[in-house]
Amino acid sequence: MKKVLSLILTLVLTLSLGLALAACGKKDTRETLTVGMECNYAPFNWTETKKSKTNYPIDGTKKYAEGYDVQMSKKIADKLDRKLVIKQLDWDALIPSIQNGIIDLIIAGMSPLEERKLDIDFTGPYYTSEHVMLVKKTSTYATATDISTFSGAKIAGQIGTTYVDIAHAVDGAINDNSWDKPTVPELVTLIQNGIIDGTVVELPVAQGLVAADSSLAMVRFEAGKGFKYINETDENNNVTKREINDMDRIVSIGIKKNRTELLDQIDSYLNTLTEEVRTQMMADAVTANAANE
């Protein structure tokens, strides 16, 4: 009897162990959704070295991505029932990576500019922001309320973004292309070293930077006294100045042309996310970034 019970117990334990191992080794066979971002543009996206409850692995590395874009990517992947893959790419590599099929989506705080629409398609807005100026806290510009105050100021922007085009369109400002940099952290260094007086960023980006660095200040202008113009460059590299419009204040998700079904699926989901939900997501991202510094 004891031998029978012992045999039954052994079989039960063996079966349980087999099921446990099978569960642990189960492969996710879902279709992937590969998203590209810089992982260097907080609070939209940034890099962390330790795993947390909310960040996500960066493909091909031992690091993790966190931020508003990461949480949005997770929501979209879950809604589509696809396995999320996040790739860290330089800003200039994002659009070519969409065109070459390396990634499925760009979720990286990218504005749907007309020149970009020649190369890729965009969803509707997934965030609407406000442009502000980032300066040194001890600067005379820190208390400005009108963009005209920056006439004579040295202003630069992030290369390849809307912000460099706004920075170079500030009336009376001094611009030098050598000051423009590929990333916001590089521009912050120029501000801290007194090489430039300010740079144009989105409100949540400035909030995150100021929260993490007490030497910086954010300038929000009074109604009707903020940024007025943006430079546009045509296919012949001719630059014209035009007034800023609402489209310049939104960021959208980039996708390869003619992927209509995926585009429609994402737009349908974005339409279910209220402004309150998006605002809270960004507030959480700003808080998480400040805690990570």
Task: Provide the residue ranges of all domains of the chain, joining segments of one domain with +.
Answer: 32-128+250-292, 131-247
How does residue 13 score in pLDDT terms, banded at 50, 70 and 90? very low
What's the pTM? 0.78
Cβ-in-10-Å burial (0-12, 13-18, 19+) of 14 comes to: exposed
Q: What is the pLDDT of residue 290?
A: 80
Q: Say which residue the tokens 């997934």 belong to.
A: 126
How does residue 23 score in pLDDT terms, banded at 50, 70 and 90? low
Would 32-128+250-292 and 131-247 be classified into the same CATH topology?
yes
Q: What is the pLDDT of residue 26?
A: 67
What CATH number belongs to 131-247?
3.40.190.10
Please identify, in words, the CATH class of the domain defined by 32-128+250-292.
alpha beta
The angle subtended at Cα 181 by Cα 249 and Cα 35, nearest 5°, is 60
Q: What is the pLDDT of residue 211?
A: 87
Task: Give me the residues paired with residue 231 across strands.
Answer: 241
Q: What is the pLDDT of residue 153?
A: 98
Q: What is the mean pLDDT of the chain?
A: 90
| Amino acid (1-letter code) at residue 43 | P
Contact 252, 166 (CB under 8 A): no
- Preceding peptide of 43 cis, ω within 30°: yes
Structure tokens at 67: 């931020």
Phi, psi of 124 (to 5 degrees): -70, 175
